Amino acid sequence: MFRTKRGAATLAIIWDAILIALKLIIGISISSIAILSEALNSSIDLLASVMAFLSIRFSSRPADEEHPFGHGKAENLSGFIEAGLMYITSLFIIYQSIRKFLSGSQVAHVEWGLGIMIFSMTVNIFFSGYLLKVARREDSLALEAHARNLRGDILISLGVFTGLLMLKLTGMSVFDPIAATLVAIYYSITATFLTRKSLHGLLDERLPAGELEKIRASITEHSRDLAGFHDVRTRKAGGERHIDLHLVMAKHSSLEEVHKMCDHLEEDIKSKLPRANITIHVEPCQENCETCNVLCSGLGSKKG
């Protein structure tokens, strides 16, 4: 059940809810702004998990009359909203850290905080790896965003742990708001990365260079049967790739030959790029036989 991206998103919701409860209880009990910041961080994680779950369900729907290109961009939108929440959280944490620094209030039972940070880091190391594995297999931006968020949480928890440890060793309460501020800074950096990646899909940025090369390689492998190609356009929506191109074939090719070639190219590209939706517009050649390598029944037949 949990091997699918929907199952992984469900498991993420359960784990985030448990972690929030633990951090809130301990953070309030020992009056630590750093741990309460971690609890707020986990609350955003829970909201992100819910959004990831909903966006995955929505993006998995097949294309329909209202959404002829499918629903894949729901995952990009989810990642963009999560980044916005992370920015807001960062500002709130910094504000609370300044208040804590100015008030100089003390933290009690620091060892409780150290314990919850160790527990949080240990579980997140394994859980983020699991989510990232499912995200890569299912090509899910929403799950990848949450997995990377949890990877960031590991470093955040390490920073909080270090701050609490210094507080324990020195008795100086200033280390608590300092640790919280470092949490906010790292959170902002992660949000910036996530914003850029989400916008790539929302603004229909082309596929990465490596994937474009695979498309071109699939076409050029049939250079003896094709007069050329041009206007290759690509974009990505969630885990779905959309590709359209113009294919130039010999003017005297039969409809059956054209159809077989298009089917073959589609299958070849899909074998290299899963979840690809391909549209091919076929054009007749201009009979520039001196530059063409195609064997056909036209003026330039049996060349080479």
Q: The CATH number of the domain where 19 resides is what?
A: 1.20.1510.10
Sort strands 228-237 and 240-249 into parallel, antiparallel or unpaired. Answer: antiparallel
CA contacts within 13 A on the Cβ side of 84: 9
Compute the C-alpha angle 292/295/300, nearest 5°: 55
**Same-domain check for residues 69 and 53:** yes
How many structural domains is the chain composed of? 2
Domain hosting 220: range is 209-291
pLDDT, position 71:
57
**Same-domain check for residues 52 and 73:** yes
**Same-domain check for residues 118 and 217:** no
Quote the CA–CA distance of 158 and 147 in Å, as a whole number.
Answer: 17
**Same-domain check for residues 147 and 172:** yes
Q: Do the domain assignments include residue 260?
A: yes
pLDDT, position 303:
43
Q: How far is CA 184 from CA 92, 113, 147, in A?
A: 8, 18, 18
Quote the CA–CA distance of 82 and 52 in Å, as a whole number.
Answer: 9
Other CB atoms closer than 10 Å to residue 172's CB: what's the count?
10
**Same-domain check for residues 225 and 284:** yes
pLDDT, position 10:
77
**Same-domain check for residues 155 and 179:** yes
Closest residue by Cα to residue 38 from 121, 108, 148: 121
**Same-domain check for residues 10 and 75:** yes
Q: Name the phi and psi angles at 31, rounded to 5.
A: 60, 50
pTM value? 0.53
**Same-domain check for residues 197 and 232:** no
Q: Do the domain assignments include residue 84?
A: yes
pLDDT, position 304:
42
Other CB atoms closer than 10 Å to residue 230's CB: what's the count?
9
**Same-domain check for residues 194 and 244:** no
pLDDT, position 300:
45
Q: Do the domain assignments include residue 302?
A: no
Domain boundary among 202, 235, 259: 202
**Same-domain check for residues 32 and 129:** yes
Q: Do the domain assignments include residue 303?
A: no
Q: Do the domain assignments include residue 261?
A: yes
Q: Do the domain assignments include residue 216?
A: yes
Mean pLDDT by 10 residues, the chain (304 residues): 69 80 83 76 73 67 63 69 78 75 68 84 85 79 73 77 82 75 78 77 76 88 80 79 87 84 90 86 76 58 43
Q: Name the phi and psi angles at 68, rounded to 5.
A: -65, -20
Q: Do the domain assignments include residue 139?
A: yes
pLDDT, position 219:
86
Quote the CA–CA distance of 132 and 139 in Å, as a whole number.
Answer: 10
Domain boundary among 143, 168, 202: 202
Q: Do the domain assignments include residue 298?
A: no
**Same-domain check for residues 223 and 179:** no
Which run of H or of E encompasses 175?
Answer: helix 175-202
Other CB atoms closer than 10 Å to residue 91's CB: what's the count?
12
CATH number where 265 lies: 3.30.70.1350
pLDDT, position 302:
43
3-class SS of residue 293: coil
Domain boundary among 202, 227, 255: 202
**Same-domain check for residues 198 and 72:** yes
Quote the CA–CA distance of 93 and 188 in Å, as a whole number.
Answer: 11
Quote the CA–CA distance of 295 and 153 in Å, as a whole number.
Answer: 60
Question: Taken in order 284, 290, 291, 294, is the CA torsion positive or negative?
Answer: positive
